[in-house]
């Protein structure tokens, strides 16, 4: 999954021959999971049609503040467009537009939106060789970067004039790659590794039957997604679960039993910075597992159980600098029991949820949590989707490790 997934991208197109490449650029942004809106300077429509871009972006293309020929046309609010965007990219950025951006000239909708934008602004210069190396252009490029804008450097190649040299707009694939890498480099968990457990464990009775629980793994998988979106490299150790995650930063390790989860956690724990153990691990397993399916009989069946290894406590006993987070699902004396687990298992924090809270627990899409740290500070959150709960958990971890 791209870091552009879910991002709102505002693409500004100016009047350069490289504008024809923006059709591919829009498609690549859409393919990456971004939502795209396009602003064109009036002159750029000589190089590519708004119809093409509106069809590809699935959004209306804006070019002027309003349509003078349509008395019912609404004002295209440059402030709203600037606030809407998570990032803005001006490509191609001609010498004319670069100069106007530098000097605050505001004579079209694109420039007004640029001056109103609160997000990161990228620009991809595109012009002929002599224009690109002109001192005024160099001043514009330097000034815009000093303002905090990010330049996607032009490349060398054959130009529209027939000359060969620098000034060619970066290819659409390279523009998207540049932006993705720039976003990733600034993510707060970039360079961090995190271990997350999810789902239930199944403890075999015989080759057919097992002891398990109702955990779906949704909470752990959402935590893995939230951590990856912050730039972390994630080791996701999951018990049997139908949940999926598509992100190159998430490595999924499938296990079945508590012992397999124990082994996997100990394999990766020493190399991670953070561990969040949200799996619903079975507390007991059958002491003796039958080699063949146990036949049903009229007599009652007695299965002797033995305790499984306490994964969380075992990691707490060996942790060094790792930030270790546990989960507690309680039905009574919730806060008291959670605090005891923090002390007995050497945790840095615990995420508490109660089955008495409506909308919390297994196999639902929501959760209601309280996070308690090792100093017994409590922070309670309202009922939210598990996706939002996962963001809260990762943000709380970030706050404590910063």
Tell me the catalytic residues: 213
Secondary structure in 3-state letters for 86-107: CEEEEEEECHHHHHHHHHCCCC
Task: Return d(Cα 5, Cα 10) in angstroms, integer.
Answer: 14
Helix 258-268 / helix 311-318 crossing angle, nearest 10 deg? 20
CA quadruple 184, 189, 193, 195: dihedral sign: negative
Query: Cis bond leading into 92, ω under 30°?
Result: yes
Give the CA distances from residue 328 to residues 24, 244, 252, 349, 350, in Å, rounded to whole numbers and listed in that order.
49, 24, 23, 11, 7
Residue 159's nearest CA partner among 129, 130, 132, 134 is 129
Contact 38, 17 (CB under 8 A): no
Name the H helices within 21-94. 22-31, 50-57, 78-84
Task: Return d(Cα 370, Cα 179) in angstroms, integer.
Answer: 36
Name the H helices within 159-296. 172-185, 218-229, 258-268
């Amino acid at each position: 999954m791209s870091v552009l997934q879910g991002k709102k991208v505002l693409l500004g197109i100016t009047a350069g021959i490289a504008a024809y490449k923006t059709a591919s650029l829009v498609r690549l942004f859409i393919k990456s999971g971004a939502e795209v809106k396009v602003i064109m300077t009036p002159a750029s429509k000589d190089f590519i049609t708004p119809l093409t871009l509106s069809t590809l972006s699935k959004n209306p293309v804006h070019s002027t503040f309003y349509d003078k020929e349509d008395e019912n046309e609404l004002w295209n609010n440059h402030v709203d467009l600037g606030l809407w965007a998570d990032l803005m990219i001006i490509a191609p950025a001609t010498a004319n537009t670069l100069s106007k951006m530098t000097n605050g000239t505001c004579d079209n909708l694109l420039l007004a939106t640029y001056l109103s934008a609160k997000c990161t602004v990228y620009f991809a210069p595109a012009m002929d060789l002599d224009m690109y190396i002109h001192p005024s252009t160099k001043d514009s490029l330097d000034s815009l970067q000093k303002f905090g804008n990010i330049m996607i450097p032009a490349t060398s190649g054959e130009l529209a004039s027939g000359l060969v040299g620098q000034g060619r707009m970066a290819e659409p694939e390279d523009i998207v790659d540049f932006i993705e890498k720039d976003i990733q480099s600034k993510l707060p968990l970039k360079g961090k590794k995190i271990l997350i457990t999810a789902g239930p464990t199944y403890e075999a009775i015989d080759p057919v039957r097992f002891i398990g629980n109702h955990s779906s793994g949704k909470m752990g998988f959402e935590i893995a997604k939230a951590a990856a979106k912050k730039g972390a490299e994630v080791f996701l150790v999951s018990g049997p679960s139908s949940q999926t995650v598509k992100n190159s930063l998430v490595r999924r390790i499938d296990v079945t039993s508590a012992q397999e989860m124990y082994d996997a956690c100990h394999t990766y724990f020493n190399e991670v910075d953070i561990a969040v153990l949200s799996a619903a691990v079975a507390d007991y397993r059958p002491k003796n597992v039958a080699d063949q399916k146990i036949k049903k009989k009229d007599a009652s069946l007695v299965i002797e159980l033995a305790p499984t290894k306490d994964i969380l406590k075992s990691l707490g006993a060996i942790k060094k600098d790792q930030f270790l987070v546990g989960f507690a699902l309680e039905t009574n004396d919730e806060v008291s029991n959670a605090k005891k687990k923090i002390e007995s298992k050497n945790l840095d924090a615990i995420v508490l949820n109660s089955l008495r809270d409506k909308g919390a627990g297994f196999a639902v899409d929501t959760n209601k949590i309280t996070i308690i740290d090792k100093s017994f500070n409590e922070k309670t959150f309202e009922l939210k989707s598990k996706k939002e709960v996962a963001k809260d958990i990762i943000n709380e971890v970030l706050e404590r490790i910063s």
